Amino acid sequence: MKTKTLINDPERLKDTLGRIPQEPGCYIMIDNNDNILYVGKSKLLRNRVRSYFRLSEEVTPRIRLMVKQIINIEFIVTDTESEALTLESNLIKNHQPYFNILLKDDKKYPYLCITWSEKYPRVFITRRRRNRNKLDRYYGPFVDVGRLRNILFLTKRLFPLRQRPIPLYKDRTCLNFSIGRCPGVCQEKISSKEYQTTLKKVSMIFQGRSDELTILLKKQMERYSRKLEYEKAALIRDQINGIEQVQEDQKMILPDSSISRDVIALSCDKRVAAIQIFQMRSGKLVGRLGYNTSTDELNEGELLQHTIELHYGQVENVEIPNEIHVQFQLPKQPIISEWLSELKGKKVAILCPKRNMKFNFIEMVQKNAEYELQRIKDGQQKQELALEDLASLLELDSIPHRIEGYDISHIQGSDAVASQVVFINGIPAKQHYRKYKIKNKDIKTGHSDDFISLVEVIQRRFSKWERIKKETSNIDKLKSSKASTLERNVFNDWPDLVMIDGGKGQLSAVMAVLEKMDLANDLVVCSLAKKNEDIYLPNTTNPIDCEHDQIGVILLRRLRDEAHRFALSFHRKQRTNRMTRSQLSDIAGIGPSRIKELLNHFRSVEAIQMASLDELTKTPGLGNAMAKQVWNYFHPS
């Protein structure tokens, strides 16, 4: 007899939660087959675990799906929350729990973002989904960025939308308002509620609900006609015609056009899987989404199930179709279907067609996935060849997995900064990038020294490893000690190769400081000079004999250029902040704390300059008198 899940057995749930202490530690969620579903940590275990079973509206769909499968909960108590964090990391890496592993969306695909968190939301294309308000919505990802830009361009012609992130003028509208492209958001010529009503119509286009929108607009056009408001009716007619233009390149694929459906198929090898989702709405192909993920020894059905859970767990309910056609049977198809039906509020069927037109369409989606997989593999193969060439060029014992690049940026010593960029397997790993402000007091405006700056950065970067080597004599064993449960993360950032942007002088300065730290014989270091693109190794007079267009050298140049770009962008930001604060410091009575409050509130000096006296008065901590002082500074007349 199968054991009931905890959510369906209140008595056992109560007993289980009662056994969990109010201590820091890790909790482990287990399903009916003794598989670990999820590992988490908390300062107060019982409170955290209990929150999963409240199933409030704040609980994500993915967590709801997990809770439906929990049979038992185990826990490990630790002395501190910090120990719980280390233990959680180790457990996740060792067991790879199902709900701790997130599918990776292909970073090359853009999204359309609508900032619903703002009073007058913006609509724009982005490739980044991090650090935004949870009220903002993303539509996509979209494979064809050119077509996405064209649709957005046509949409902005059909509907009057906000065109600029910052107003062009502080006291009047711009040309976009005069020609009907913008409803006058900057001067609030339209209410926030009316503007968001327009945006809801726009969002329907990017959800694949254009037919529903057309029906709504036709009804609205008829109402205007009955009221003899023919100009408004004509405007709606033009919008309907424009929506048809947006869809003109779409064609009828399946005959039962009343049913919305998604068709999902994949192609994979032993390491990576490419998944394609074709979105059918009213019989038309309205969108094609792409994901890729590592296979992790999962079969095809499990990979498809992963994709469905992540994708539909982060979209609006109305975007979930009535039918989902899959290439392979899902391991937990009834549970997934029930979960999607609960999200949508009506039945969602998951089908696995085996013949006729629907099966042929799945074959077409699979063919697209095969092309995408080949594209991914070609990219990986190029990176592998470049790494092999670089290893041969520098006479390394093995192919470098982690390569770090360093560069310095300043203007005659002012706002001196440094960058550390990291390539893993030849691909930028931006989560490991680091920025450094140069702290040496000798580096100042009018006096620069890249050698001293590089020495400081290298000392700060490898001081941890200097300490480790002093504590133990066998640093090679520590570098490969991936299974250690004590301070495990400390061993994961040792570079296989360090590249310095510069020539023999910069390389010599770095090697001198590494000698003092007793790490010179452990690290592999090279430099890449800008002038002739020459590569230097320590203790050599002449550069390495190589061709400038060979793939290993090109990889090293990409690393150098990325380090330069990252350092330069940080330097410009520091310089802008300094100049900004300098300008505000000229205002009598404004100190560092009030400058910070002003910039936190308005985000830029330009916004402060355009703000009205009433808006300045409302700034937290400023006050009426100081607001008047700021206003008079920017408006001396």
For residue range 326-352, list pLDDT tens digits in order: 999 999 899 899 889 988 888 999 999
Quick check: 489 pLDDT over 60?
no
Query: How confident is the model at residue 57, as a pLDDT?
Result: 58
Instruction: Tell me the C-alpha distance between 494 and 465, whole Å.
Output: 9
Q: Mean pLDDT throughout 121-130?
A: 77
Q: Mean pLDDT throughout 203-216?
A: 72
Query: How confident is the model at residue 418, as a pLDDT?
Result: 92
Maximum mean pLDDT: which of 96-105, 145-154, 167-176: 167-176
Query: How confident is the model at residue 103, as a pLDDT?
Result: 44
In the block, residue with structure tokens 């392979």? 328
Higher pLDDT, 471 or 518: 518
Q: Mean pLDDT throughout 555-569?
A: 91
Higher pLDDT, 363 or 590: 363
Quick check: 248 pLDDT over 60?
no
Query: How confident is the model at residue 487, as a pLDDT?
Result: 41
Quick check: 425 pLDDT over 90?
no
Cα angle at 274 between 268 and 276, to 5 degrees? 125
Quick check: 490 pLDDT over 50?
no
Query: How confident is the model at residue 284, as a pLDDT?
Result: 63
Instruction: Tell me the C-alpha distance between 500 and 535, whole Å.
Output: 10
Higher pLDDT, 42 or 577: 42
| Residue 455 pLDDT level (bands cut at 50, 70, 90) | very high
Query: How confident is the model at residue 475, as a pLDDT?
Result: 67
Domains and CATH numbers, the chain: 6-100 (3.40.1440.10), 261-376 (3.30.420), 402-573 (3.30.420.340), 586-634 (1.10.150.20)
Query: How confident is the model at residue 249, as a pLDDT?
Result: 41
Quick check: 33 pLDDT over 70?
yes
Instruction: Tell me the C-alpha distance between 227 and 267, whole Å.
Output: 56
3-state SS class at 421: strand
Higher pLDDT, 142 or 397: 397
Q: Which residue from 196, 194, 230, 238 is spatially nearest to 214, judged by alpha carbons?
A: 238
Q: Mean pLDDT throughout 207-227?
A: 77
Q: Mean pLDDT throughout 554-568?
A: 91
| Phi and psi torsions of 353, nearest 5° | -60, 145
Query: How confident is the model at residue 105, as a pLDDT?
Result: 43
Query: Would residue 338 be called left, alpha or beta, if left means φ above 0 and alpha means ψ between -120 and 50 degrees?
Result: alpha
Instruction: Tell me the C-alpha distance between 619 and 74, whole Å.
Output: 50
Quick check: 363 pLDDT over 90?
no
Taking CA atoms, 554 is separated from 76, 207, 526, in Å, by 49, 42, 15
Query: How confident is the model at residue 242, as a pLDDT?
Result: 67
Our measurement of the distance from residue 400's CA atom to the centroid of its chain's CA atoms, rounded to an integer in Å, reads 26
Quick check: 514 pLDDT over 90?
yes
Query: How confident is the model at residue 255, as a pLDDT?
Result: 46
3-state SS class at 105: strand
Query: How confident is the model at residue 435, as a pLDDT?
Result: 92
Average pLDDT value for the chain: 81
Instruction: Tell me the C-alpha distance between 546 and 540, whole Å.
Output: 15
Query: How confident is the model at residue 266, as a pLDDT?
Result: 92
Higher pLDDT, 288 or 455: 455
Q: Mean pLDDT throughout 536-557?
A: 88
| Phi and psi torsions of 232, nearest 5° | -65, -40
Quick check: 634 pLDDT over 90?
no
The answer to whether the peptide bond before residue 24 is cis (omega within 30 degrees of 0) is no
Instruction: Tell me the C-alpha distance between 541 and 539, whole Å.
Output: 7
Instruction: Tell me the C-alpha distance between 58 and 69, whole Å.
Output: 19
Quick check: 20 pLDDT over 80?
yes
Q: Which residue from 78, 72, 161 is spatially nearest to 114, judged by alpha carbons?
A: 161
Query: Taking the CA atoms of the chain, what radius of gyration do you get in angstroms?
Result: 29
Cβ proximity of 406 and 418 under 8 Å: yes
Quick check: 38 pLDDT over 50?
yes
Q: Mean pLDDT throughout 391-410?
A: 90
